[in-house]
Structure 1
Amino acid sequence: MATGMKLPMTVTLQKPMAMAAPSSSFSLHRAINFRTVSCLNATSNAKVPLPPINPKDPFLSKLASVASTSPETLLNRPANSESPPYLDIFDAPRLMAAPAQVERSISYNEHRSRRPPPDLPSLLLHGRIVYIGMPLVPAVTELVIAQIMYLQWMDPKEPMYLYINSTGTTRDDGEVVAMESEGFAIYDALMQSKNEIHTVNVGAAVGHACLLLAAGTKGRRYSMPHAKAMIQQPSVPSYGLMPASDVIIRAKEVLTNRDTLVKLLAKHTENSVETVANVMKGGPYYMDSVKAKEFGVIDKILWRGQEKIMADMASPEDWDKGAGIKVQDEF
């Protein structure tokens, strides 16, 4: 009877064990794994200090949430060496935030910027520099006038610096790319500004760009040694299939703009209107930095010390005498 009593008991005990075997063995396996990991962590924590961790790191935050909800995802890793570890738990992997959202922490470089660097025109504007490096097309005019207004609003007492390398309202081959009003618009914005305007010719100042160069504050108009300035009559744009009456109207407008340009150049260069008009009648009038200073377009050439070098230079006779050369016959 004792043996018979044991048999049903054994069967009774084995039945639930057989039904619960997968979950129980998995629970047991998980418990063993957790104990092993805990022991390893305790041992490693005691010997090796952990590196600093950024609590706002999205990758670590995701791993922590997965470890708390389903730790088996982290423990039972697939043996696949081709994919980085733990990267497959992300539906849409994003290991780093956008540059503007990256927070500085002790694990990152302390000098890393929190936002993307600004563009170059913004950096120049921070130094109160407005750079015109293109023909005066509407997009350039819009930006330059906005920068002038912004600098005046920021500080009406500090000077602004206008660097010019532009062919005006035409291209270098003389083709018209913009209306003459584009150059007059920037000129009017400069004249309305309360700031002191420092103009610098860094390449070429042609047509209306030359007017902007000469419109700077007296005594604050500069030119690089090899920069060129050029004044010319406004060009007549191509009219295509425009009616004859409209062509005449446009031609009269070009002549009006020419007279206005002549008067403004005469005013800022301190020449007579007749002098400027006669110079422009002869075609494009090119001026190097020395001629531009003589004509009154600029006030100073930025030689960077060349003037002193040329002044200290000895004459050819002194060079010959110092070198021991004697002139036998004089021509």
Structure 2
Amino acid sequence: MANIIVAQLLYLDVVDPQKDIVMYVNSPGGSVTAGMAIFDVMRHIRPDVSTVCVGLAASMGAFLLSAGTKGKWYSLPNSRVMIHQPLCGAEGGQTDIDIQVKSYSIYHERSEPVDPPSPTRQFNPKTAAPFFKEIFYVSYL
């Protein structure tokens, strides 16, 4: 799925680099690697990327929702957003685990702070930071 999204973003960049791209997010989350590929392409292309939450944007889905062009994040009234610190599992010998921890630490540093979209309130990264220590849910119900 990530490869398709990456290809579509690159295609839309070539077709009309001046036209905003709207990306609808309805995702329970997923692979950190796949999500970071989408994130990198969103930052690489020339058009602004407007993100809209429809349904659920959780975990990596919430990260991508907040990765849209600043000021162009939207959420439908009954949508839900859930974000948390990056999770990972490590296995293997001590050296393997150390490498994996360092790799995921880089993702963690890149993902803080994030501003979740809100139709009623603007979040400031400094005041919102305590919420991201654990799991944070945003609901507009």
With the shorter chain as reference, the TM-score category is: 0.7 to 0.9
Per the TM alignment, residue 197 of structure 1 is displaced from its structure 2 partner at its CA by: 1.7
Please point out which of 20, 40, 43 is paired with 1:159.
20
Which amino acid counterpart does residue 125 of structure 2 have in structure 1? N
Which amino acid counterpart does residue 18 of structure 2 have in structure 1? K
Per the alignment, residue 193 of structure 1 pairs with 45
CA contact (8 A) 1:141 1:182 kept: yes
Task: Name structure 1 gaps, 5 residues minimum.
Answer: 1-139, 170-177, 291-331
CA distance, structure 2, for counterparts of residue 218 and residue 249 of structure 1: 33
Secondary structure, aligned partner of 2:89: coil
Report whether the alignment pairs 1:288 with 2:139. Answer: yes
CA distance, structure 2, for counterparts of residue 212 and residue 251 of structure 1: 22
Per the TM alignment, residue 196 of structure 1 is displaced from its structure 2 partner at its CA by: 2.5
Per the alignment, residue 230 of structure 1 pairs with 82
Deviations 1:162-205 (A, max 9, x none): 01011222xxxxxxxx3x23222211211122212221100111
CA distance, structure 2, for counterparts of residue 222 and residue 275 of structure 1: 18
Per the alignment, residue 143 of structure 1 pairs with 4
CA distance, structure 1, for counterparts of residue 9 and residue 89 of structure 2: 29
Identity of aligned residues (%): 28
Per the TM alignment, residue 154 of structure 1 is displaced from its structure 2 partner at its CA by: 0.8
Task: Name structure 2 gaps, 5 residues minimum.
Answer: 118-122
Which amino acid counterpart does residue 6 of structure 2 have in structure 1? I
TM-score, structure 1 length as denominator?
0.38
Pair 1:202–1:196, CA change in 2 (3 A): same
CA distance, structure 1, for counterparts of residue 49 and residue 132 of structure 2: 26
Which amino acid counterpart does residue 145 of structure 1 have in structure 2? V
Per the alignment, residue 57 of structure 1 pairs with none
Deviations 1:127-186 (A, max 9, x none): xxxxxxxxxxxxx111101000001111112221101011222xxxxxxxx3x2322221
Q: Which has the higher strand share?
A: 2
Secondary structure, aligned partner of 2:99: helix
Please point out which of 221, 224, 234 is paired with 2:73.
221
Which amino acid counterpart does residue 246 of structure 1 have in structure 2? D
CA distance, structure 2, for counterparts of residue 287 and residue 181 of structure 1: 24
Secondary structure, aligned partner of 1:189: helix
Per the alignment, residue 63 of structure 2 pairs with 211
Per the TM alignment, residue 270 of structure 1 is displaced from its structure 2 partner at its CA by: 4.3
Per the alignment, residue 98 of structure 2 pairs with 248
Which amino acid counterpart does residue 64 of structure 2 have in structure 1? L
Per the TM alignment, residue 212 of structure 1 is displaced from its structure 2 partner at its CA by: 1.6
TM-score, structure 2 length as denominator?
0.82
Pair 1:218–1:261, CA change in 2 (3 A): closer
Deviations 1:214-259 (A, max 9, x none): 22233332111111111111112252xx112211221232222112
CA contact (8 A) 1:229 1:289 kept: no
Which amino acid counterpart does residue 23 of structure 2 have in structure 1? L
CA distance, structure 2, for counterparts of residue 275 and residue 256 of structure 1: 21
Per the TM alignment, residue 279 of structure 1 is displaced from its structure 2 partner at its CA by: 1.7
Please list, as runs of the form range in 1=range in 2, the aligned pairs for 1:1-331 lying within 5 A after superposition: 140-169=1-30, 178=31, 180-237=32-89, 239=91, 242-263=92-113, 265=114, 270-272=124-126, 275-276=128-129, 278-281=130-133, 283-289=134-140
| Greater C-alpha Rg | 1
